[in-house]
């Protein structure tokens, strides 16, 4: 049965037709807050189950870290949607749902007989959400609507790469899949907003998030820079184009970040590192001067930071000005902040005796905090259970399995 009593979305049923990263991350955000998420997969399972990484001792290889990280708190039903019997089961399942989420290319759900219009006829209150590279024609047809897209495409076309890189001539992809994860987060927001309206009016709606649009929204600064300053922003390395100091600095054993662009913080920083002369130096005395002479500012600060370790710098600067060391994942796992915030959690993993670590729940709520109550599912692990819940007899379930309609 679905977990209950811990999330603001308790009682919301989500039928999840998603795959890869963007869609599953979106539905996991909902599941973490108590929604019952039913993951619809082909009998052989979603493709990312084989993506790894796998523990060396895992001989089962039911799924790897990629799948485990974005599919917790869900149940899985195996449906061969090319089979009319399975499609009818999907329709019956949607009749019981509050939300459907999918991230296929435009037209796929229509070809399966599961379009928004078809599902809305069965369930007028349904919130139907889609995440696509260039959006859905229903809300504005892009000339690229048929193009396939992944994170790297969204980062490039949405403008993130134009401002990220070591120098103005070298665009650079951001490491995490923000071209998937940020659209997923916006989609979860859109779904909850649509659910609120559906509760008031009884009417669902179509929620459409374009990955490229989402990345542009993430890079909102570039639009106003172009409009207000007639600029084409370019990569700034590890510095801010409008604020100084605001960026990355060498330490004896790595790197740290700090921001002291306001005059008050600048004066405090100069005092902490024993450089009161920088408070009155015309090149560094004002915020505007510090931007104009940013190379000098960074050079002077690195005279101090580069001869101290990250730990030593934290002891001097931490809590006094905006400051943080550049952490690797081993340092993150050992950091008491992430322990106190339960941001590294451990879950069971089929085929591995010990529990495995995944990132925790980032949204903290006082009354409905959400929690992780189940690991990512095996493919079709809950097929029979879910079908019984919608009134299917065991004999019929066995018949459908024999016909390979379900897995």
Q: In this predicted model, what pLDDT tens digit does every residue of 20-30 receive, in sequence order?
A: 999 999 999 99
Active site residues: 180
CA angle, 259 then 261 then 262, to 5°: 120
Q: Domains of the chain: which residue ranges? A: 13-218+340-402, 246-328
pLDDT in tens, 293-331: 999 999 999 999 999 999 999 999 999 999 999 999 999
- What pLDDT, in 10s, does the model give residues 85-130? 999 999 999 999 999 999 999 999 999 999 999 999 999 999 999 9
Q: Are 122 and 91 in contact (CB under 8 A)?
A: yes
Q: How many angstroms separate the CA atoms of 268 and 385, rounded?
A: 62
CA distances from 71 to 35, 74, 179 (A): 13, 6, 18
| Residues 10-20 pLDDT 10s | 999 999 999 99
pLDDT at 265: 97
SS3 content of the chain, % helix, strand, coil (to 5): 40, 15, 45
Phi, psi of 55 (to 5 degrees): -70, 145
Rounded-to-integer distance, Cα 23 and Cα 137, Å: 19
Q: Band the pLDDT of 5: cuts 50, 70, 90.
A: low
Class in CATH terms, 246-328: alpha beta
**Is the predicted pLDDT of residue 2 greater than 50, yes or no?**
no
Mean pLDDT of the 248-266 span: 97
Number of residues that make up the chain:
407
Section 188-213 average pLDDT? 98
Q: Which helix (H) or strand (E) holds 255?
A: strand 254-259
Picking from 27-41, 93-107, 228-242, 379-393, which range would have the lowest pLDDT averaged per residue?
A: 228-242
**In CATH, 13-218+340-402 is 3.40.50.10540:** yes
Which tokens in the block code for residue 333?
């796992």
Report pLDDT digits (tens) over 385-404. Answer: 999 999 999 999 999 999 99
Strand bridging mode 13-16 / 99-102: parallel
| pLDDT at site 6 | 81
**How far apart, in whole angstroms, are the C-alpha atoms of residue 83 and residue 171?**
46
pLDDT digits (tens, 9 = 90+) for 147-187: 999 999 999 999 999 999 999 899 999 999 999 999 999 99
Return the number of other C-beta atoms located less than 10 Å from residue 238's C-beta: 14
Q: Are 238 and 167 in contact (CB under 8 A)?
A: no
pTM exceeds 0.85 for this model: yes
Whether 334 has a pLDDT exceeding 70, the answer reads yes
């Amino acid at each position: 049965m679905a977990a209950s009593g811990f999330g603001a979305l308790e009682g919301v049923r989500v039928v999840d037709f998603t795959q890869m990263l963007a869609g599953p991350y979106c539905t996991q955000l909902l599941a973490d807050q108590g929604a019952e998420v039913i993951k619809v997969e082909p009998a052989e399972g979603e493709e990312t189950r084989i993506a790894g990484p796998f523990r060396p001792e895992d001989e089962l290889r039911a799924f790897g870290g990629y799948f485990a990280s974005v599919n917790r708190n869900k149940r899985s039903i195996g449906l061969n949607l090319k089979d009319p019997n399975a499609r009818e089961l999907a329709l019956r399942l949607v009749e019981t749902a509050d939300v459907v989420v999918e991230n296929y290319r435009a037209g796929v759900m229509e070809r399966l007989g599961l379009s928004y219009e078809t599902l809305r006829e069965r369930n007028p209150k349904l919130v139907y959400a889609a995440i696509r590279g260039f959006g859905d024609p229903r809300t504005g047809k892009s000339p690229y609507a048929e193009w396939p897209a992944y994170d790297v495409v969204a980062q490039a076309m949405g403008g993130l790469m134009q401002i990220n890189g070591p120098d103005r001539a070298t665009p650079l992809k951001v490491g995490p899949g923000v071209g998937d994860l940020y659209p997923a987060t916006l989609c979860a927001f859109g779904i909850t907003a649509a659910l609120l309206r559906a509760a008031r009016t009884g009417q669902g709606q179509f929620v459409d998030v374009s990955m490229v649009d989402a990345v542009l929204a993430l890079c909102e600064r570039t639009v106003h820079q172009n409009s207000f300053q007639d600029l084409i922003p370019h990569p700034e390395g590890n510095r801010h184009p409008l604020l100084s100091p605001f960026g990355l600095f060498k330490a004896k054993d790595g790197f740290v970040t700090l921001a002291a662009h306001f005059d008050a913080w600048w004066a405090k920083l100069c005092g902490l590192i024993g450089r009161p002369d920088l408070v009155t130096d015309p090149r560094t005395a004002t915020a505007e001067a510090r931007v104009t002479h940013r190379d000098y500012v960074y050079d002077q600060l690195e005279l101090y930071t580069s001869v101290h370790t990250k730990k030593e710098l934290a002891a001097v600067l931490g809590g006094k000005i905006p400051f943080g060391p550049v952490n690797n994942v081993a340092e993150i796992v050992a950091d008491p902040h992430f322990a106190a915030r339960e941001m590294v959690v451990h879950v069971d993993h089929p085929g591995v005796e010990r529990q495995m670590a995944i990132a925790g729940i980032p949204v903290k709520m006082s009354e409905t905090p959400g929690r992780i109550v189940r690991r990512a599912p095996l493919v079709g692990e809950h097929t029979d259970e879910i079908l019984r819940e919608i009134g299917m007899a065991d004999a019929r379930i066995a018949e459908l399995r024999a016909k390979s309609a379900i897995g």
